[in-house]
Structure 1
Amino acid sequence: MSTAKKSFIKKIIALILSFGPGIFAIGYTIGTGSVTSMIVAGSSYGMQLLWVLLLSCLFSGVLMFAYGNYALISGETALYGFKKHIKGGKILAILIIVGITFGQWNSLMGILGISSNMLFEILAMNFEGLAPYKYETVLTIAILIIAIFYGIMMVGKYKFFEKVLVIFVTFMGLSFLLSLFFVYPLPADIAKGLIPSVPEVEGGKMMVAAFVGTTMAAATFLSRPLFIRGKGWTIANLKQQRNDSITAAVLVFIISAAIMAVACGALYYGGAPVTQVLDMANTLEPIAGNFAVAIFFFGTLSAGLSSIFPCLLIAPLLLADYQSGELDTTSKQFKIVTFIACLVALIVPVFGANPIKTQILTQVFNVFVLPIVVLGIILLVNNKKVMKGYKTSIWVNIGLFAALFFACVVSYTGVVAILDSM
């Protein structure tokens, strides 16, 4: 290999490894919940919901930026700031902890269920004798996965978590982008997808809410101040924090849109909506061959594994945020809470539930905490005393109020969708 090529590869690796706390934003956002929602939407409605994804990513970038700036300027974390500076903030903070933990732990069940099912299908292709023992094999795989991740959590180092996530997210992004070379939607459908509309079919409203629940995840913004602290950033890193927020939001949009586009190209035009984990791969195979199936499998598996970390971290993160603004990954509380999360994660594999249905419903529940999380940061970043004289720009405020309106509308849509499904 030439020196120039080696130098280029080293630069790419250095760029990937230099990624900041935004890598956790991608880990939270693009898991099997997001992949499932994008595949189901792409296979059922084509590119019709691309506008929802675009708005969600735009507002996510604004919120990541606002929470990051608040952390660097005030020196405080989010829930600790809510409790300290907002009237009734203690109750709000507790509601947020309960709501987000419920949503993320539910998501964790689906993530582990889908990842275990995918690994079983890969094993079953090579060892046909496993087919009659699907339940036992899936459960065993799930226990092994969660045990390995719990062991990794006990290492308790931010930089270690970050490096593991970088590997998973990189493989995931490349896998889904490569899949686009095999199947893709019509350009006219992409253009139509940017025009706001809601599918006038059963489950259309729920899918809109699920989209926002997975892409505009409240956990992503609330955890950002703690991850910024873990990274060691200070007020001198304001510009770096802004660029990290923009990069994370853009990458979430590109990867998510790629997944939806592949599902649209492979399934929507053939009238084959997704209901089971393997539907996507089975339909891709005759169109693009085994290689495309392997790539997509690998991407979905990477998405699932990259989300287990943040989902296990969320409850101890929020509790630490509320208590002191400091996360101690070696504490007894951290070990106990993450162990409980591991047990919760096994519920779907133990009961053998359909992980796809579990994931979509979980994403809908995630939107209900969102308006409170957006309103909280609006109050904090516009408090001159808290922000030490730093004035939040009119454009950031416009973005935040637009995000609040969007979050309220989608939460209402989620309520209507759940009531309609009863």
Structure 2
Amino acid sequence: MSESKQKISLLKKIIALVLSFGPGIFAIGYTIGTGSVTSMIVAGSKFNMQLLWVLLLSCIFSGILMFAYGNFGLITGETALFAFKKHLKYGKALAILIIVGVTFGQWNSLMGILGISANIIFEILAVNFDGLSAFKYETVLITAIIIIVTFYLLMLVGKYTFFEKILVIFVTLMGFSFVLSLCFVQPLPLDVVKGLIPTIPDVPGGKMLVAAFVGTTMASATFLSRPLFVKGKGWTIKNLDQQRKDSITAAILIFIISGTIMAVAAGALYYQGKEVTQVLDMANTLEPVAGKWAVTIFFFGALSAGLSSIFPCLLIAPLLLADYQSGELDTSSKQFRIITAIACVVALIGPAFGANPIEIQILSQVFNVFVLPLVVLGIIIMVNSKKIMKEYKTGIPVNIGLFCALFFSCAISYNGIIALTEYF
């Protein structure tokens, strides 16, 4: 076989591998958005690799929860909130509380995502068009409107496989962009090892970032939507092994991509004593080392992260409601169109008021942690019920993992409350 044919064959294999990725791609879409990128960059620039242990624990527990929720969906044929409502004594109240809490967190997050994505596009345009800087507010707002309207129209024509393919493209671009960025700057290996030792930075904003880290990496939306997405993929009880592999792969990829982003920020900014407070600071992460080309690569990664999160964030409220009502998501229904339209309007609040999208993003991630203990507790009860799971028994290692995740989520929620009282 000639060298050119071998290259084409290898490229085809890589493309096939990427496109074969299952519902885990939604987990990456929910988890690594601009919220995650922002949290990782701010943490890397402020605290070096000190919070790597938080990221590692969050990813381990995320993998376990994705596995538990996915298995529950395939074994029982039921979705999460519908099952809570059906089987638990106070399940109806629990399900409604979760819907309100998760939607609030995700819509807040959407505001920050849209603001950061629009700001990134503005910064790219401002580099090429000199007079544009004077019209920052107008350009950012118009860009935000164009982005959100485009995504809304795509939502109206899409089905599960359509959303999945678009997410695969964005997530792949994002991953390559950040790994390429890491080639230009790296943290010291000793700092990476130190980052695995549990410590919380004893400085203003330290607790807030820890909560934001968990809020963005252990996102409740990721687990709750898992049964719906494995059903959307067409998987059945025969795909339990595939579901397990998909959960593990998603958790590993989330850790690698998020850790890479933190490492890029630590290598480029922390050692120079620079911090991130504005969107442009995120792009400047690489400029001193690799010039404008690296800035473009980084911007492209951050923008891909933002765009890969808009779909899942718009989907979450109708998804949870559909789950609660019947366990089926109908993307052509009137309810779906109305709720996603409301989400689009909410997303524009941040850009309309000219708010700092980085602050909005960090705050929204903190709010995400408060529903997390309920989401973990719910699945622990469900997977250990003989009445629901019948002959399928949840193993001791999975149960240990779930109870550790519950303890961790409670500790982080308490930490988040303290962080918010200090902030306000």
- Is 1:379 paired with 2:381? yes
How much has 1:275 moved relative to structure 2? 0.4
Counterpart-to-counterpart distance in 2, 1:380 and 1:156: 32
Counterpart-to-counterpart distance in 2, 1:129 and 1:388: 67
Cα deviation 1:192-245 (Å, max 9, x = unaligned)? 000000001011011100000000000000001111111000000000000000
Instruction: Pick from 45, 51, 62 the counterpart of residue 43 of structure 1.
Output: 45
- 1:33 maps to a residue whose letter is G
Please tell me whether the aligned partners of residues 62 and 400 of structure 1 are also in contact (alpha carbons under 8 angstroms).
yes
Structure 2 gap segments, 5+ residues each? none
User: What is the alpha-carbon root mean square deviation over aligned residues?
Assistant: 0.7
- 1:43 maps to a residue whose letter is S
How much has 1:388 moved relative to structure 2? 2.2
TM-score by length of 1: 0.99
> Which residue in 2 is equivalent to 1:204?
206
- Is 1:119 paired with 2:121? yes
Structure 1 gap segments, 5+ residues each? none
Counterpart-to-counterpart distance in 2, 1:270 and 1:60: 33
TM-score by length of 2: 0.99
Cα deviation 1:297-339 (Å, max 9, x = unaligned)? 0000000000000000000000000000000100000000000
Instruction: Pick from 276, 279, 286 the counterpart of residue 278 of structure 2.
Output: 276
- Is 1:311 paired with 2:313? yes
1:390-401 counterparts in 2 under 5 A?
390-401=392-403
Please tell me whether the aligned partners of residues 73 and 388 of structure 1 are also in contact (alpha carbons under 8 angstroms).
no
Please tell me whether the aligned partners of residues 181 and 286 of structure 2 are also in contact (alpha carbons under 8 angstroms).
no
Q: Which runs of 4+ in 1 moved over 4 A?
A: none
Please tell me whether the aligned partners of residues 29 and 167 of structure 2 are also in contact (alpha carbons under 8 angstroms).
yes
SS at match of 1:385: helix
1:53-72 counterparts in 2 under 5 A?
53-72=55-74
Counterpart-to-counterpart distance in 2, 1:280 and 1:119: 13
1:105-116 counterparts in 2 under 5 A?
105-116=107-118
> Which residue in 1 is equivalent to 2:251?
249
> Which residue in 1 is equivalent to 2:232?
230
Cα deviation 1:93-119 (Å, max 9, x = unaligned)? 000000000000000000000000000
Cα deviation 1:153-200 (Å, max 9, x = unaligned)? 001310000000000000000100111100010000000000000001
How much has 1:283 moved relative to structure 2? 4.2
% identical aligned pairs: 76
Counterpart-to-counterpart distance in 2, 1:229 and 1:96: 21
Cα deviation 1:343-400 (Å, max 9, x = unaligned)? 0000011000000000000000000000000000000001112112100000000000
> Which residue in 2 is equivalent to 1:189?
191
> Which residue in 1 is equivalent to 2:32?
30
Counterpart-to-counterpart distance in 1, 2:251 and 2:208: 23
Counterpart-to-counterpart distance in 2, 1:242 and 1:278: 40
> Which residue in 1 is equivalent to 2:23?
21
Counterpart-to-counterpart distance in 1, 2:355 and 2:281: 17
Instruction: Pick from 292, 298, 301 the counterpart of residue 299 of structure 1.
Output: 301
1:156/1:280 CA distance change after superposition, 3 Å: closer
How much has 1:287 moved relative to structure 2? 1.4
